Amino acid sequence: MSPLYPWFAPLWQQWQAHLEQDRFPNAALLVAKAGLGVDQLVSQFSQAVMCSNYAAEPCGFCHSCQLMASSNHPDFHRVVPEKEGKAITVDQIRQCNRVAQESSQLAGYRLIVIEPAEAMNESAANALLKTLETPSAKCLFLLVATSASQLLPTITSRCQQWHVGEPDSVVLTQWLAEQTELPVPAYAEHLNGHSPLQTLRFIEGKEQSRYQAIEQQLLAVTRQQGDVVKLAKELATETEQSLSWLWYLLTDAQKCHFGLALPTAIPGASVLAQQVSYDLLYTQSEALRELIEQLTTHSGLNRELLILDWLIKFNGEVCL
């Protein structure tokens, strides 16, 4: 088993203690931001729960461990949307409820992981509620979500909750240094919202050069020399990522107007601050925040057009 990411270590210690005392709650909710690699924790937990010889770590040899390794354990159920981005349906939850009422096939725990829990639609969540209210012995539900706010309060109130945020900078910097031989630019963690896996991809993949190209194009646009249509097209791919980068760039540029020179500041921010007034940067970063929210909550919008409209406002023009 690969070692756990260090930012999960404190939580894992608590979970181990619960498991060792046979006191893990019947309904647990794990809330972890995206980019933390939560799959690794869920997988380690699931193997530990199912192992017949569990002692601090799953043994890896027992019948249960072998069934888990071949994804064939009859008492382990992972409920995910049938298609990415779709809802977890009431039928899927009713099936879980039946499992919860049956007895274990291998005499150990039954474990049902629902992920992402916020993908349950309202009727699915309501169907789950009753089962959570009347827990069966040796049947555990683990709900995994990126944010608790999208879950019904009736669900969250019935679960014991654990929240994992981004690791602090010391832990993250050390982990990155262990993972990569490449230089880690001081601004990389900050630009990627301190998300460990995203920052590592940024350093090791093509994202760093992609970011730099986007930054250059935006600086050209704000000098009224750039090609807004081309930039809008570029930003419309990997939209969430690209726009989030720009949001950090804009907020760093606002700090430059206040004379704040942070060591983690994004290099292009000071140039942007020279080219664009504080007021416009502020208005544009607020508009960008709303745009990101709009694009992540509604599908089927014309991304390119909305981004183009936002870009053109750097020149004080109004489109749409």
Give residue for tokens 């909710």: 29
Mark out the alpha helices in 107-206 (DSSP H runs): 122-133, 153-156, 169-179, 188-191, 196-204
Least Å distance, CB 7 to Zn ion, is 26
- Structure-token pair, residue 144: 């995994």
Query: Which is nearer to Zn ion, 50 or 100 (by Cβ)?
Result: 50
End-to-end CA, the chain: 54
Query: Which is nearer to Zn ion, 68 or 288 (by Cβ)?
Result: 68
Q: What is d(CA 67, CA 51) in angstroms, rounded to the nearest whole number?
A: 10
The answer to the question of residue 292 lying near Zn ion (CB under 5 A) is no
Give residue for tokens 């409820």: 97
Judge residue 206's burial from the number of C-beta atoms within 10 Å of its C-beta, 0-12 exposed, 13-18 middle, 19 or more buried: exposed
Select from 47-55, 103-111, 130-138, 211-219 the region that touches Zn ion (CB under 5 A). 47-55
The answer to the question of residue 106 lying near Zn ion (CB under 5 A) is no
Select from 6-14, 51-59, 164-172, 195-203 the region that touches Zn ion (CB under 5 A). 51-59
Query: Which is nearer to Zn ion, 51 or 119 (by Cβ)?
Result: 51
- Structure-token pair, residue 32: 């972890």
Least Å distance, CB 263 to Zn ion, is 47
Query: Which is nearer to Zn ion, 59 or 87 (by Cβ)?
Result: 59
Q: What is d(CA 97, CA 133) in angstroms, rounded to the nearest whole number?
A: 12
- Structure-token pair, residue 180: 């990569």
Q: Which of 11, 62, 292, 312 binds Zn ion (CB under 5 A)?
A: 62
The answer to the question of residue 243 lying near Zn ion (CB under 5 A) is no
Q: Tell me the C-alpha to C-alpha distance, in Å, between residue 21 and each of 44, 51, 55, 159, 189.
A: 18, 15, 11, 19, 38
Least Å distance, CB 246 to Zn ion, is 48
Rounded (5°) CA angle 261-266-272: 85
The answer to the question of residue 50 lying near Zn ion (CB under 5 A) is no
Query: Which is nearer to Zn ion, 61 or 168 (by Cβ)?
Result: 61
Least Å distance, CB 18 to Zn ion, is 18
The answer to the question of residue 111 lying near Zn ion (CB under 5 A) is no
Q: How many residues bind Zn ion (CB under 5 A)?
A: 5
**Residues of this chain that bind Zn ion (CB under 5 A):** 51, 53, 59, 62, 65
